[in-house]
A = this chain, B = another copy of it.
């Protein structure tokens, strides 16, 4: 497998966690999205949407979209599973993952921030307000389910790590980069801490990847 990744990509962070949890070795290709390397002709041939993460695995089109890649890794490398067995619990886990991957994260990625800057001429403090607002909305949505749905244990869904935890941690770590960590949201904060004690999460952390700075804050 050839995995196209970058330290700053929170969606790539999710895939790294899953690869670590399942013990899958890949060739890692760094695509520096801060320098626009995802827009080169070479990468366009890998993923015509010019986004990471992307995963090549044998023949057939490149795999794209972090949730689709996570489900693929879970189907092709079932141990340890990233989804519970029962359909309702699977839906709940996927719903939590969707809060992060659909409702929150797409709002704060570079292409959105660039549009706000270049098309709407919004200044840096205004763009930071936007980013922080949607991180907070994501936390609130996650916490509302974690606190009320009666499903939560050590991790989001009982005591086993699932897709929901992977996405939740990517949200919390991303939030910290923008001075919006998960501390005000007790279940999110507790689960983030529990996950980051796990080697598979800790090794996948953005700041532990090639090219990353020692720390980051906005």
Binding site for B on A (CB under 8 A): 48-49, 51, 57, 60-61, 63-69, 71-72, 75-76, 87-88, 90-92, 94-95, 97-99, 101-103, 105-107, 112, 115, 119-120, 122, 126, 129-130, 133, 141, 144-145, 148-151
Interface SS majority for chain A: helix
Are A90 and B75 closer than 8 Å at their CB atoms?
A: yes
Q: Which of A103, A126, A150 has the most CB of B within 10 A?
A: A103
Are B145 and A95 closer than 8 Å at their CB atoms?
A: no
Which one, B75, B92, B98, B133, contacts A87 given CB within 8 A? Answer: B75
Are A71 and B94 closer than 8 Å at their CB atoms?
A: yes
Are B60 and A88 closer than 8 Å at their CB atoms?
A: yes
Are A67 and B102 closer than 8 Å at their CB atoms?
A: yes
Known contacts A92-B61, A120-B126: A98-B145 contact under CB 8 Å: no
* Residues in B neighbouring A71, C-beta threshold 8 A: 90-91, 94
Are B107 and A112 closer than 8 Å at their CB atoms?
A: yes
* Residues in B neighbouring A68, C-beta threshold 8 A: 91-92, 94-95, 97-98
Cross-chain pairs A/B with CB under 8 angstroms, 18 sampled: A49-B99, A49-B141, A61-B88, A61-B145, A63-B95, A67-B102, A68-B91, A68-B97, A68-B98, A69-B91, A71-B90, A72-B88, A98-B102, A102-B102, A102-B105, A103-B106, A119-B130, A120-B120
CA gap between A122 and B122 in the complex, in Å: 10
Q: A49-B144, A65-B94, A103-B106 are in contact. List 10 more A-B contacts (CB 8 A).
A: A51-B103, A61-B92, A61-B151, A64-B95, A65-B95, A66-B98, A68-B97, A102-B106, A106-B106, A120-B126
